[in-house]
Amino acid sequence: MSSDRYLLYHGLLISTVTHTTESLKYARAFPVEDTDVFVVTYPKSGTTWMQEILPLLLNGGDLTPVQSIPNWDRVPWLEETRVAKFVDRFASPRGFVTHLPYHLMPTSLQNSKAKVIYVTRNPKDVMVSSYYFHQMACFLDDPGTFQEFSDKFLKGQVLFGKWTDHVKSWRHTELGDRILYTTYEEMIQDLPGAVRRYSDFLGRNLSEEVIQKIADHCCFDKMKTNRMSNYSLVPGEFMDSSKSPFLRKGIAGDWKNHFTPEQEASFSAIIRKEMEGEELVFPWHSE
């Protein structure tokens, strides 16, 4: 592993292109406002998708920000360096994304009234998506073979550590009804339904017409052509979309095109063992 590409933060690998020790400290000390909304994801679980949906939920369906502001400034990552530069000019209610586990979130989160939407995705699809992302993201180590990357993923030797640790950390919070759990698969299956659930959770009270407008705008094909959301603004030296586009396939179950039956069996057995006792039911369990 190339040591100048990553820093280690509480045992988690983090990219040095977008993070510093200071930015991570800043996130921990961040003064959370009661109206803040945090979308939390393990990488490759639908972060960019939620960066499209959330502003529209918060502003009642006005497309202006998603058509004029790049996703990373529109709904910034709490732990990245950029956020400190403009957060003072950010209007409330503010939307953020983060890949942090619960115990590394701002200490002020717990006693605030801020809300959290936690998105989970089938770890097999997360791994496949991440495998391609590592091929196009020139600031990350080459993933090696599919099997090599899968081994690293299961050991947590990837950005933000183990998938299972992340998911478990967010299931044991003191946030009560201030956290909503959703899945990438729920959004794939019924985007208007998912948007309506998020709207109700955030107390937005949006009409069916606005819900439908948001869902229509946030479909994969529209986002793929939205330059503010498809990462085409990022210079080729950082992201080489000729190797793999950032918005790659946008489906559930692409793992079936990549795993052999043996790989699937051993991957699933490890995840199952590590999730023992959690009694979580996810849409992909019935596959």
Q: Which residues are catalytic?
A: 99
Answer for which of 5, 28, 197, 248 binds ligand A3P (CB under 6 A) is 248
Answer for which of 23, 120, 122, 129 binds ligand A3P (CB under 6 A) is 129
Query: Site size for ligand A3P, by CB under 6 A?
Result: 20
State the nearest-atom distance from the C-beta of 51 to ligand A3P, in Å.
8
* Alpha carbon of residue 54 to chain centroid: 12
Length of the chain, in residues: 287
Query: What does residue 127 show for φ and ψ, rounded to 5 degrees?
Result: -65, -45
Interface with ligand A3P by CB under 6 A: which range of 61-69, 161-169, 174-182, 244-252?
244-252
Q: By C-beta, is 33 or 141 nearer to ligand A3P? A: 141
Task: Please check whether residue 31 is in contact with residue 111, taking contact to mean a CB–CB distance below 8 angstroms.
Answer: no
| Per-residue binding letters, 23-42, with ligand A3P (x by CB under 6 A) | ------------------x-
Interface with ligand A3P by CB under 6 A: which range of 87-95, 168-176, 241-249, 279-287?
241-249
List contacts with ligand A3P (CB under 6 A). 41, 43-49, 125, 129, 132, 218-220, 223, 247-250, 254
